Amino acid sequence: MDEYAHLVYSLTRNFPREELYGIVSQLRRSALSVALNYIEGYARVKDKVHKNFLEISYGSLKESKYLLHFSLVEKYLIKSDYDKAIKLAEEIGAMLWGIIRKIK
């Protein structure tokens, strides 16, 4: 998750300046939210609360994946960078979903 957040920050450094407060901000926040909600959920004692934070993390991951796709279509990203980010996102998503399913 940490690698994903750093990758997104790195990729968005080259986005158009007019997107600084639009896509760049939203993409960075959603990518960082994946890790932050995972960490906060891990720190919670109750399973239901932990699961809720994991679900929020998973939702943020889906949001960031859409924004990456949007950025590719708008030609803010090159395909190889997009593919790298999506591959990492898919791995994180599988891990998160696996943990979510195990919590009662």
Query: How many structural domains are present in the chain?
Result: 1
Q: What is the dihedral of CA 91, 94, 100, 102, to 10 degrees?
A: -120
Backbone angles phi, psi at 48, to 5 degrees: -65, -40
**Where is average pLDDT lowest: 9-13, 14-18, 100-104?**
100-104
Confidence of residue 20 (pLDDT cuts 50, 70, 90): very high
Mean pLDDT estimate for the chain: 95
- Residues 27-41: what's their mean pLDDT? 96
The answer on pLDDT for 63 being more than 90 is: yes
Residue 104 has pLDDT above 90, yes or no: no
pLDDT level of residue 45 (50, 70, 90 thresholds): confident
DSSP secondary structure string for all residues of 9-75: HHHHTTS-GGGIIIIIHHHHHHHHHHHHHHHHHHT-SSHHHHHHHHHHHHHHHHHHHHHHHHHHHTT
pLDDT number for residue 44: 85
CATH code where residue 89 lies: 1.20.1440.60
Please give the biggest Cα pair distance in the chain.
Answer: 45
pTM: 0.93
Among 28, 32, 23, CA closest to 1? 32
What dihedral angle (degrees, nearest 10) is formed by the CA atoms of 91, 81, 73, 24? 90
Q: What count of Cα atoms within 13 Å lies in the side-chain half-sphere of residue 49?
A: 8
Full domain range(s) for residue 92: 2-102
pLDDT > 70 fraction of the chain, expressed in percent and rounded: 99
